[in-house]
Copies of this chain bind each other. A is one copy, B any other.
């Protein structure tokens, strides 16, 4: 390894040390921190973030990365991919002026507080002026970062390198044309009974079943652990310390099981990244959509499959004989796959979920183009919920104010959730073709062949290629929405 490349690695690992330290403090904040610890914890996190920013914009680092970028001839392919990606990020960072960042952060801080109050008091007017100001900043940010076709592209690119509005248009056109009527047709049919999922289930027994499921998935407990938090999440402090959290409701059995498998999928991805490439792009997750593809693949295609429950239902019924003695494996499988158009995105089933995202995609695009102003959002929101989901929104608190994302200035994040699901279907479809008797293995409780396939096809690559290249390499074609419909058809 050249001395210059070694300096680059050392510097990036230092940045990673600080960012992962922040992640430990955030994990602790969500799972164990006593309430009064909040004030100084926020200050500690802010100091760490400030130092990480200092390191990223360091002059010596600029020299190193510029020199490496100027002559990549002596680098291995992976080293070259790392340098190109780091260079891209460095150049992106350089486009932000300090004044802009300070003003934006002040605006976000006010905006977030206003959103919290507005949601609590169900009063959009409290949020509106701050959101309008934030939109102004975000439109400036598009100009600052640059884009070829649509100002929204600049923001999409922050979460998903190379993602374009035009590409999302083609995907969401199909959601509109195929998924909307498909759902309208499904909801006409009688729905399976799922009342038994909401009986009383002992939390401690749920917890142990969840751990058992994670073990079945080959989540490595020597490189991670599960804890309880208000909102389930996955976090990582290296590929050797990847932690999941779950939430257990006494009266909602599948909430815990679903979140365990979902977060387990995220965690298997992080545990499968090249551990020695700590801090380098080649050791990092590829993009938000690819991350989400891993959680959704396990959740939707393993955890909600009849094969998985063929292996696990008896165990579950033995744990909860009173609640499940009159429930068949088939009815259980039907119940967990039930669809029901609803008001809140985070509670949505796997099909109607994408209509929630479609609505946000359409709105975000128009916000960034300047076609929509903050004041118009409640009306537009409610119209779209009526049109796509046939739902009357009863209040802004449960409507346009339901998500935190916009108050944080995150525009372009939502679409990656849907892309993740669609990638998941396409990847799983391919895995099924390549792994002999995959579903038979799952039926026998053996998910190792699937994990090995994901490791070699997806996890091992880190961030050395783009999402659409990965998809093409793995499945032979770019993202194709039809696989999502095919896989959903199999379930129903």
Residues of A214-242 at the interface with B, using a CB-CB cut-off of 8 Å, are 220-225, 227, 237-238, 240-241
Judged by a CB distance under 8 angstroms, whether A20 is at the interface is: yes
Among A24-32, A257-265, A285-293, A346-354, which stretch is in contact with chain B? Answer: A24-32
Residues of B within 8 Å of A476, CB to CB, are none
Judged by a CB distance under 8 angstroms, whether A278 is at the interface is: yes
Cα–Cα distance between A13 and B223 once the two chains are bound (Å)? 33
Cα–Cα distance between A346 and B402 once the two chains are bound (Å)? 56
Residues of B within 8 Å of A51, CB to CB, are 18, 51
| A13 & B241 in contact (Cβ 8 Å cutoff) | no
Most chain-B Cβ atoms within 10 A of its Cβ — which of A18, A20, A51, A223? Answer: A51
**Minimal Cβ-Cβ distance residue in B for A227:** B32
Judged by a CB distance under 8 angstroms, whether A492 is at the interface is: no
Residues of A389-425 at the interface with B, using a CB-CB cut-off of 8 Å, are none
**Minimal Cβ-Cβ distance residue in B for A271:** B36
Encode contact with B along A33-65: 1 for CB under 8 Å, 0 otherwise.
111110111011011100100000000000000
Cα–Cα distance between A326 and B224 once the two chains are bound (Å)? 46
Known interface pairs A34-B222, A222-B34, A241-B33. Does A40 touch B20 (Cβ–Cβ under 8 Å)? Answer: yes
Judged by a CB distance under 8 angstroms, whether A255 is at the interface is: no
Judged by a CB distance under 8 angstroms, whether A312 is at the interface is: no
| A241 & B34 in contact (Cβ 8 Å cutoff) | yes
| A278 & B21 in contact (Cβ 8 Å cutoff) | no
**How far in angstroms is the closest Cβ of chain B from A49?**
11
Give the copy number: 2
Judged by a CB distance under 8 angstroms, whether A14 is at the interface is: yes
What are 11 inter-chain pairs, A to B, with CB distance below 8 A? A17-B46, A17-B48, A24-B44, A34-B221, A34-B225, A35-B222, A36-B223, A37-B238, A39-B238, A39-B240, A41-B237
Encode contact with B along A435-447: 1 for CB under 8 Å, 0 otherwise.
0000000000000
With A18-B51, A24-B44, A36-B220 given, can you name 19 additional A-B contacts, CB distance below 8 Å?
A13-B43, A17-B40, A17-B43, A17-B46, A21-B25, A21-B44, A21-B47, A24-B24, A24-B28, A28-B28, A32-B227, A34-B223, A35-B222, A37-B241, A40-B237, A40-B241, A40-B278, A41-B237, A51-B51
| A21 & B37 in contact (Cβ 8 Å cutoff) | no
Known interface pairs A34-B224, A35-B222. Does A47 touch B241 (Cβ–Cβ under 8 Å)? Answer: no
